[in-house]
Amino acid sequence: MPTWLELVLRVAAVLVAFLTLPLIVGQTEHKVMAHMQGRLGPMYAGGFHGWAQLVADGIKFVQKEDVTPRDADRPVFRLAPAVALVPYLLALLVIPLGPGDLVGQPLDIGLFFVLAVVGIGVLAVLMSAWASANKYSLLGGLRGAAQLLGYELPLVLAAASVAMAAGTLSLPGIVAAWHPWWLLWQAPAMVIFFVAGLAEIRRPPFDMPVADSELVFGYMTEYTGLRFAFFLLAEYVGIVVIAALTTVLFLGGWHGPFADAQLGWLWTLLKVFAVAFVIIWLRVSYPRLREDQLQRLCWLVLVPLALAQLVLTAAVRLAM
Amino acid sequence: MSERSGVPGEGLVKGLAVTLKTMTRRSTTQQYPDVAPELPPRSRGVIALLEENCTVCMLCARECPDWCIYIDSHKEEVAVPGAARPRQRNVLDKFDIDFSLCMYCGICIEVCPFDALYWTPEFEYAEYDIKDLLHDKDHLGEWMVTVPPPPAHDPHGDPSKEETTAARKAAAPAARPAPTRVRPEPGAEQGGGAPS
C-alpha cells in the first residue's frame, strides 16, 4: 500500500470515529439520562426509540440562522468553535485502538501530545467568552479558564505517574507495558485523572463555566446554529477522548479476557463506552459544584493526592 | 457538613445507586397521543346530558358557581287518553354548558334530582375557538355513550333503597296503603285550592 493511501485511510478512519463515536455517546446520554430519571427520552426521531434524534438535531442546527452579535469580535467569535473542536480531533489521532498498527498515528510522545492538545480547550473557552461581548459569557469563560488551568495540573500529574510506571510517553507503549495489577497500583491516579478529565471537558458536576441556571449558558450563550452545534459536539468528543485516555492509560486499552491480538479494538471500545457511561451516570447523579468547592477539590485534594501517587510510583519503580 | 455520620463518600455512592436503580425500573412516562391514558372511571373529563331525564327544574343552572349552564324551555300540553285533562310537560329547548367557564366542580351533577347529568372521563375536546367550548344539548348528549357504568354496589353495604322498597312491596302486596289524597275533580278548583 502506498504511503499516501495509507495516510488517507488512517485520517479518514479517525474522522469517521470523530463523527460517529460522539453521536453514539450523545444518544446513549439521552437514553441513559432519561431512564435514570424515570423517563423514556427521545422516542420519535427515526422511528425506533428515537435513534436518529441527534441527526435530527444536527439538521435543525444547520438550518438555524448563524447570528454574530453586533459588538462581538467577529473573527475571534467565529473561530472559537473550531478551536474547541480541532484539539479533540488531533487527540483522537494518536489514541491506539488495538495492538500493532491500529492507531491513527503512532507517536513516541503521544501522551505529551494529547495533554498539550487537550489543554488548548481553555483557549477556545476564553476566545468565545471574550469575543461574545456578553457579561454572562465573560463570567462563564473566566470560570472556565480558572477551572481548566487548575485541573490541568492533577491531570498531567496523574498521567505522569502512569508514564513513569510504563517508562514511556508513547500511548501504545503504555498499553503494552500495562499489567492488571496496575489497576491497584495506579488506582488513585486513575481516579484523579478521571475527575480532572471530567473538569477538563466541563461536564457536570464540573459545569460551572456553563451553569445554565445562573449564567444562561456561559461562554456559549451567544452562539447559534452550526457554531453552537460545534461546541456541543466538542463536549461529546471530549467525553470520548477522556474516556479513551482513561482506558488507554489506566484500564489497559486493548488487554481483554482473551484474543487480545484479534479483538483488541473491541476491548478498547467496550472500555471506552463503559467509562463514557460512568461520565453520563455522574452527570445524572450529582449536582453542580460551587466555584469555591471546585477549586478546593482541585488544589486541596487532587493535587496533593497526585503528588503522593507520583512518589508511590517512583518508589515502586525504584524497588522493582 | 459535620453533622453527617458514616463512611465519607457514602452519600456519593448512595446517589449513584439511586440513579442506577431507577434506570433498571420501568419508566413512568405515559405516551399519551399514542397510547390512551387509563383514567379512573370517575375522572372529571366532561359533563354528559341525558336529555330524557331532564325536567327543566333549573337546579343545576342555579347551583352552578360560575353560571355556565344556560337552559331554555317551553311547556307543552300532552293529551293522555283516559285522563280528564291534558297534562303539562316541560320541553327542553336549550341546554348549554360553557366549558370555557366551567370549573369542573360537579355541583350540577350532584344536585340533579333526576340523574340527567353525568361525568365522563373523555377529555379531548379542546377547540381552536373558545366559542366552540359552548356545548349545546346535542353535543352534551353525544357524550352519554362515554359514560362509564356505575360502580358495583358495595357487597357489605346496606342494600339500595329501591331494592328494600321492592322487597317490602313484594312481601306484603295487600298492605299497600291506599292513596290518601284524591285528585280534585275538574271544575272544582275555582275555590283556589293549590294542588300540592
B26 — alpha (psi -120 to 50), left (phi > 0) or beta? Answer: beta
Q: Are A233 and A82 in contact (CB under 8 A)?
A: no
Helix H or strand E encompassing B24: helix B10-24
Give yes or no for A241 touching B (CB within 8 A): no
Smallest CA–CA distance, residue A38 to chain B, in Å, is: 4
Domain boundaries, chain A: 69-319
- Residue A242 to residue A254: CA distance in whole angstroms: 16
Residues B90-105: tens digit of each pLDDT: 888 889 999 999 999 9
Smallest CA–CA distance, residue B40 to chain A, in Å, is: 22
A38 contacts B25? CB cut-off 8 A:
yes
DSSP structural state of residue B130:
G
Q: Which residues in chain A have their CB less than 8 angstroms from residue B22's CB?
A: 35-38
> How many beta-carbon pairs below 8 A join chains A and B?
34
Give yes or no for A37 touching B (CB within 8 A): yes
For residue B196, name the pLDDT band (cuts at 50, 70, 90). Answer: very low
Question: From the list A39, A281, A284, which residue is nearest B27 (CB)?
Answer: A39
Query: With pLDDT > 70 as the criterion, what percentage of chain B qualifies?
Result: 85
- Residue A62 to residue A56: CA distance in whole angstroms: 10
Cell readout for B85 is: 285533562
- Residue A116 to residue B36: CA distance in whole angstroms: 55
- State which CATH number among 3.40.50.10860, 3.40.1170.20, 3.30.70.3270, 1.10.357.10 fits the domain covering B46-146: 3.30.70.3270
Q: Which residues, at least 6 apart from B152, have a Cβ–Cβ distance to it below 8 Å? A: none
Residue B105's SS3 state is: coil
Which pLDDT does position B111 carry in this prediction?
A: 92
For residue B189, name the pLDDT band (cuts at 50, 70, 90). Answer: very low
Question: From the list B15, B16, B27, which residue is nearest A35 (CB)?
Answer: B27
Q: Which residues, at least 6 apart from B33, have a Cβ–Cβ distance to it below 8 Å? A: none
Residues A145-163: tens digit of each pLDDT: 888 888 888 999 998 888 8
Whether ipTM > 0.85 holds is no
Residues A15-28: tens digit of each pLDDT: 888 888 888 888 88
B15 contacts A281? CB cut-off 8 A:
no
Query: With pLDDT > 90 as the criterion, what percentage of chain A qualifies?
Result: 4
Domain boundaries, chain B: 46-146
- Residue A136 to residue A270: CA distance in whole angstroms: 39
Question: From the list A36, A43, A282, which residue is nearest B23 (CB)?
Answer: A36
A37 contacts B28? CB cut-off 8 A:
no
Task: Give the mean pLDDT of B167-194.
Answer: 59
Chain A residue at shortest CA distance from B20: A36
For residue B157, name the pLDDT band (cuts at 50, 70, 90). Answer: confident
DSSP structural state of residue B191:
G
Smallest CA–CA distance, residue B39 to chain A, in Å, is: 20
Q: Which residues in chain A have their CB less than 8 angstroms from residue B31's CB?
A: 40, 43
Give yes or no for A265 touching B (CB within 8 A): no
Question: From the list A39, A43, A284, which residue is nearest B19 (CB)?
Answer: A284
Query: With pLDDT > 90 as the criterion, what percentage of chain B qualifies?
Result: 14
Q: Are A267 and A255 in contact (CB under 8 A)?
A: yes
Interface of B with A (CB under 8 A): 12, 15-16, 18-20, 22-23, 25, 27-29, 31
pLDDT at B128 over 90: yes
pLDDT at A168 over 90: no
Nearest to A222 by CA among A125, A77, A84, A82: A77
Residues A274-307: tens digit of each pLDDT: 999 999 999 888 888 888 888 888 888 889 999 9
Chain B residue at shortest CA distance from A38: B27
Q: Which residues, at least 6 apart from A104, have a Cβ–Cβ distance to it below 8 Å? A: A10, A11, A13, A14, A92, A93, A94, A95
Q: Which residues in chain A have their CB less than 8 angstroms from residue B18's CB?
A: 285
Question: What is the identity of the amino acid at B20?
Answer: L
Residues A49-88: tens digit of each pLDDT: 888 888 888 888 889 888 888 888 888 888 888 888 888 8
Give yes or no for A278 touching B (CB within 8 A): no
- Residue A145 to residue B132: CA distance in whole angstroms: 58
- Residue A21 to residue B94: CA distance in whole angstroms: 66
**How many CB atoms are closer than 10 A to CB A222?**
23
Give yes or no for A293 touching B (CB within 8 A): no
Smallest CA–CA distance, residue A13 to chain B, in Å, is: 34
